[in-house]
Structure 1
Amino acid sequence: MARANDAVASALEEYAELFAMTGGDAFRVRSYQKAAKAIAGFPEDIAATAVRSVPGVGEAIAKKVEEYLERGSFRQLDDLRAKVPDGVRKLTRIASLGPKKAVFLFQELGIDSPEALAGAIVQGRLKGVSGFGPKTEENLLRGIEQLERNSARVHVGVAMDLAERIIDSLSAERIAYAGSLRRMKDTVGDIDILAVGPVSLMDDFKSRPYVAEVIASGEKKTSIRTTEGIQVDLRVVPAESWGAAMQYFTGSKEHNVHLREITVKKGWKLSEYGLFDGDRVIAAEHEEDIYQALGMPWIPPTLREDGGEIAAALRGELPVLVTVDDLRGDLHTHTDLTDGIASLEDMVAAARARGHSYYAVTDHAPDLAMQRMTLDKALEQRERLRALQSRHPEMRLLHGTELNIAPDGSVDWPAEVLAGFDVCVASVHSHFTQSREEMTRRFITACENPHVHIIGHPTTRKIGGRPPVDADWDEVFRAAARTGTAMEIDSFPDRSDLPADLVRLARHHGVKFSIDSDAHAVPHLDNQRFGVGIAQRAWLTSDDVINTWPLERLLTFLGR
């Protein structure tokens, strides 16, 4: 069953943001942000837990959480929502525009939405306003365009959580999600759910608390908009047509058009009800039977983009895609020594519970100053990890670090310190607007550092928040292949980085990959399934992914 943690954390984050925007004390703002992070990362369902047992949640915050769990909000949040228009909050979603500037624009210039800000820039109303020079205006317009592109879509983590909550809430003979979510696209516009069940299922669906609006309703299809603003379409299909419906509604459109072209040449018809030769049903109940009847093996949903998968299937050359079960470990995770929520001991125990053969702890290095890391702290953690190793002899514990790639491509710590780490992940955490040439050289220099094993979340994007950096990826990937540096597929769903198109390009150049959770709390370890989805969309096999390899092969790659 889905947990209430994310919804509670989201409410606390919203309150912290609104509190900051209305001049609230910075210390209290941070307290609510930390509490939100703690609740989101708490391994148990907050609705079934004593709220005050969560580290970082004091009495005042606990009361607000309890009220939220009872009625879906709390009084102080309602009060602040009344003071700050929703459009002003949306201003803070624009890259490079923080809460203080958003409030200034609203109070001084009456700008109450991204659309109003774009109009004010075009009209020249910001000229002469301190802090809003030509370069800032250019960046804001670019940020508004990006916000508009992303506003109709949510990242796969949000969509998956919602789909699983809905499926858990309904009683049906069969029920599953389809569409772009089943194809594991990194963003999703709306959610398609198919079910076999009685007509009364539709009334049950419409009565659920996650429904904010019923868009359309019928016996076979009902469309609703959720409280999160996401459209969900529920279709009730005949049991005997389940496979055909799953194939049809999974898509993509281009994949289905290509399949229909094949069926037409055979004189057959393919629809959501089945594959037909006249009135004769060739296949319908099982998706695999449809593909087999068309002369090919079942094609995994993650490949169904008409990117050559049908031709490969007809030739019998589909790859054996990497799966979650192939993963033997995780090479990028954090603890409460830096910006994680859980202790070293809890993260290691959770990794072991997942059946990992090896597990790396890679807390931030000192150049990310906000994390207050020092060499002494890192070495102390190494000793703690060694002590834990004796308690987990069946899982190899690796002491790593997430380094910061400076603008010139250098990283934290000298070579003699880096040599002591089992695994070094190097990531860009600042200076995102460097030129294409500068960013390309920055990555290549990092790849050429013999102590860097993996480039973390390479494009640095945050879906719906920060655009990817600009680099000549062909050149970067050539350098990575030449130096034996792996590229990370960061599985955190708001990153999904590298995206599938760049993974395919990197694979073309001979690059290997690491599918990592970038976990900052125990529940985040499950994120690896999203990274596997990206890898599958890029046609990766287990041989392409270093953390599917046996320990000895991995250690050889790491030079240990």
Structure 2
Amino acid sequence: MARPNEDVRALLQEYAELLLITGKDAYKARAYEKAARAIGGCHADVSTLDAKGLREIPGVGKSIADKVVEYLRTGSMPAVEEERARIPAGVRRLMEIPALGPKKALTLYEELGVSSVGELREAVEQERLRDLKGFGPRSEENILHGIGLLEASGERIPVHAATELAEEIVAALSAVPGCVDCAWAGSLRRMRETVGDVDVLVAARRSEPFMEAFTALPFVAEVIARGEKKTSVRTAKGTQVDLRVVPPDSWGAALLYFTGSKAHNIRIREMAVRGKLKLSEYGLFHTESGRKIVSRTEEKVYSRLGLPWIPPPLREDRGEIAAGLRDELPQLITERDIRGDLHTHTDLTDGLAPLEDMVAAAAERGLRYYAVTDHAPDLHMQRMTRDKMLAQRERVRALDRTHRGLRLLHGTELNIGPDGEVDWPPEFLADFDVCVASVHSHFGLDRDAQTRRLLAACEHPYVHVIGHPTTRILGKRQSMDADWDAVFAACARTGTALEVNAHPNRLDLTDELVLRARDHGVKFAVDTDAHSVPDLGYLRYGVGVAQRGWLTPEDVITTWPLTRLRHFLRKRAGTRAR
């Protein structure tokens, strides 16, 4: 489950938004936003801190610390409750629509009486927004698209939240006497970016102890249905979790069946039928005699069908069956293969932790190399200068080799401007170890313009990696429109790596685009884009996307030894600078 830090972060962020929507002091709202980010990125569990300890977190003053202590003690923050009472819940829901901020949500409520997403859709369709200051046909189009994004996300759960929940459940049930096996299944096991619910399987001879333990978990708010083989609950955060208890002898078949995908299962059932067999969650059977052949492990079920074991992230009916029959399944990248991270931030710009803390955390995670890539000056709110960047470089060089086995790289995250320009001239960029270039603005340019700016960045002699290439933020901002095949071809030709951004709010590139880029011969960098120490733990989700995109360690430059990586970076810059 989420740490208390995440609960406090969400509450303070909500308070900041409520202050904005009710027209309160914007400076105060920004202070609460900053505190929310700081607490969310704090590596210490805030529930173990007193007011004094909380005030040691950057951006957390006395007033905020006192409110947090009160919330942790009572489960309530009166200041938030007071602001909530001023605005209907439906209006707060409007703020979740991409492209609709607090001020516009308040205008819609005060001028048109709009207090729900449904009422807003109706107002747009009736063209009632056009008479309001700050709105127009383009606003209506953006709002409708934002409503679509919000509804598409629906009740789906981000992969990191689902994973944290599943890990806690599996740990609890694995400790129940009689547990032979326990694992999560479904789309979470396939590492989908969001999941509809969480599926957990237990192999045991008796189901009742597990149903009892499951329904007694502290975060269970409602028992939806309870039976001998399956029980469904809803957590306090609204997530549905389904528990199934199966006989130990059926474990492999059940795990395969409930992992899916549906399309993958249909394919392998068709293979079974052609072999006069029947495959179900209970096992693989002879059709005529009904005799069970195999069921204990997934490997044995696949083997009896003439297939190698297929890793769950590949089970989407995207050619994995045919590849298995040809013995051509990729040796997928794993988290253990990752040697380094080429995209991270510190509190010099918009990160939450100082350089020394980020480096120490990277060393603790066993990375072999680690790049610090704070923002360049075109993101003006970060107030970066050459002097600041050069001073940081000296600090990075001083810290290099202070942690055994870890080498440090000094880099920067450049902003790709609307014409493809980047922040600093080539002669300054030449002295960085690595340059990540990303789009941070002008998301509404047309397809041709977006393609041109990305192609220009790929051609730049000192751009090594394109960061979060599509710019999407899950549930909030759609991917920008570009000719991705042209971009992928340019990356392959110029030797520009594409990032698989591991932050669960981004997961960018998507697995579908990774597959397409891979076919062009592109190399990739799986990076965390970490802005805090806990963010470094998100690496696993980037690896999951890479696995779903069929990537091997050879495809990913952050698995390479540092010597090979440095050669890749130097060769690329040297070739294109001529």
CA contact (8 A) 1:175 1:196 kept: yes
SS in 2 for 1:127: helix
Q: Does 1:181 align with 2:188?
A: yes
Residue of 458, 470, 475 corresponding to 1:464: 475
User: Size of the alignment, in residue pairs?
Assistant: 560
Post-superposition Cα deviations, 1:345-401, rounded to whole Å, max 9, x if no partner, equal: 011111111111111000011101111111111100000001101413522210000
**2:130 match: secondary structure:** coil
- How far does residue 23 in structure 1 lie from its aligned partner after superposition? 2.4
How do 1:82-481 and structure 2 match up within 5 A? 82-170=85-173, 171-172=175-176, 173=179, 174-196=181-203, 198-277=207-286, 278-392=289-403, 394-481=405-492
Deviation of 1:288 (Å): 1.4
Q: Which amino acid aligns with 1:282?
A: I
Is 1:40 matched up with 2:40?
yes
Q: Distance in 2 between matches of 1:100 and 1:226?
A: 33
Matches within 5 A, 1:7-86: 7-50=7-50, 52-54=52-54, 55=57, 56-86=59-89
**Superimposed CA distance per residue, residues 438-468 of structure 1 (whole angstroms, 9 cap, x where no aligned partner):** 0000000000000000000000000000000
Per-residue CA distance 1:468-517 (angstroms, 9 max, x = gap): 00000011111111111000000001100000111111111111000000
* Structure 1 CA distance for aligned equivalents of residues 83 and 161 of structure 2: 25
Change beyond 3 A, Cα 1:379–1:338? same
Do the aligned residues in 2 keep the contact of 1:335 with 1:343 (CA within 8 Å)?
A: yes
Q: Is the 8 A contact 2:251 2:297 kept in 1?
A: yes
For the 8 Å contact 2:232–2:242, the answer to whether it is kept is yes
- Higher mean alpha-carbon deviation, 299-308 vs 44-53, is at 44-53
* CA distance in structure 1 between the partners assigned to 2:366 and 2:63 by the alignment: 39
Change (3 A) 1:134 1:490: same
Letter in 1 for 2:63: A
Cα distance change on mapping 1:22 and 1:345 into 2, 3 Å: same
Amino acid in the other structure paired with 2:189? R
Deviation at 1:51, TM superposition (A): 5.5
1:162-214 Cα deviation digits (max 9, x unpaired): 22233344444232211011000112111111123541332333333423333
CA distance in 2, matches of 1:452, 1:471: 19
Aligned residue in 2 for 1:547: 558
Report how far residue 71 of structure 1 moved. 4.4
Whether the 8 Å CA contact 1:2–1:164 is kept in 2: the answer is no
Offset, 1:292: 1.5
Stretch of structure 1 that moved more, 104-113 or 342-351: 104-113
Question: Residues 361 and 399 of structure 1 are in contact (CA less than 8 Å); yes or no, is this contact kept in structure 2?
Answer: yes
Distance 2:300 2:2 in 1: 33
214-223 or 432-441: bigger deviation = 214-223
Question: Once the two structures are aligned, what percentage of the paired residues are identical?
Answer: 59
Offset at residue 122 of structure 1 (A): 1.3
Q: Which residue of 1 aligns with 2:544?
A: 533
After TM superposition, the structure 1 stretch with the greater mean CA deviation from structure 2, 457-466 or 260-269, is: 260-269
Q: Deviation digits for residues 327-350 of structure 1, max 9, x if unmatched? A: 000000000111111110011111
Structure 1 contact 11–73 (Cα < 8 Å) conserved: no
Counterpart CA distance in 1 for 2:93 and 2:529 is 27
Flag structure 2 segments of 5+ consecutive residues without an equivalent.
572-578
Letter in 2 for 1:276: F
Per the TM alignment, residue 108 of structure 1 is displaced from its structure 2 partner at its CA by 2.1
How big is each residue's C-alpha offset from its partner over 1:16-51, in whole Å with a ceiling of 9 and x where there is no partner? Answer: 212222223222212221222112111122223445
* Aligned mates of 1:83, 1:209 — CA distance in 2: 32
- 1:312 Cα deviation (Å)? 1.2
Structure 1 runs not aligned, ≥5 long: none
Quick check: 387-396 or 85-94, which moved more?
387-396
Offset from partner CA, 1:293-329 (integer Å, 9 cap, x none): 2122111000001111111112211110011000000
Q: Contact 2:401–2:408 at 8 Å: present in 1 too? A: no
With 108-117 and 11-20 compared, the bigger mean Cα shift is at 11-20
Q: Do the aligned residues in 2 keep the contact of 1:490 with 1:518 (CA within 8 Å)?
A: yes
Q: Report the Cα distance in structure 1 between the residues aligned to 2:348 and 2:158, rounded to whole angstroms.
A: 28
For residues 512 and 294 of structure 1, what CA distance do their matches in structure 2 show? 34
The aligned amino acid for 1:32 is Y
Q: In 1, distance between residues paired with 2:84 and 2:218?
A: 21
Matched residue type, 2:331:
V
Q: Is 2:512 aligned against 1:501?
A: yes
Change in CA separation of 1:287 and 1:48 when aligned onto 2, cut-off 3 Å: farther
The one-letter amino acid of 1:302's match is: P
Cα deviation digits, residues 218-243 of structure 1 (max 9, x gap): 22212222222222212122222222
Moved more, 112-121 or 218-227: 218-227
Specify the code of the residue in structure 1 equivalent to 2:523: K
- Alpha carbons of structure 1 residues 295 and 531: separation in structure 2 relative to 1, 3 Å: same
1:3 is displaced (CA, Å) by 2.7
Q: Partner amino acid for 1:190?
A: D
- Partner-residue secondary structure (3-state), 1:493: coil
Say whether the 8 Å CA contact 2:342–2:527 is kept in structure 1. Answer: yes
Encode CA deviations 1:68-93: one digit per residue, 9 max, x unaligned.
33444322222322322221112111
Structure 1 pair 80–169 and aligned structure 2 pair: CA distance change class (3 A): farther
Asked whether the equivalents of residues 52 and 58 of structure 1 are also in contact (C-alpha less than 8 Å), the reply is: no
Given that residues 339 and 520 in structure 1 are in contact (C-alpha distance below 8 angstroms), is that contact kept between their aligned partners in structure 2?
Answer: yes
Between 1:248-257 and 1:41-50, the stretch displaced more is 41-50
* C-alpha distance in 2 between matches for 1:106 and 1:520: 35
3-state SS of 2:129 partner: coil
SS at match of 2:374: strand
1:4 maps to 4
The answer as to whether partners of 1:51 and 1:57 remain within 8 angstroms in 2 is no
In 2: Cα distance, 1:150 partner to 1:503 partner = 22
For 1:176 and 1:99, locate their aligned partners in 2 and report how far apart those are by CA, in whole Å.
Answer: 42
Aligned equivalents of 1:138, 1:183: Cα separation in 2: 34
Conserved? CA contact 1:358–1:396, under 8 Å: yes
Deviation at 1:160, TM superposition (A): 1.6
SS state of the match for residue 273, structure 2?
A: helix
Q: Is the 8 A contact 2:469 2:508 kept in 1?
A: yes
C-alpha contact (below 8 Å) 2:51/2:62 kept by paired residues: no
Equivalent residue letter for 2:123 = A
Which of 306-315 and 386-395 deviates more?
386-395
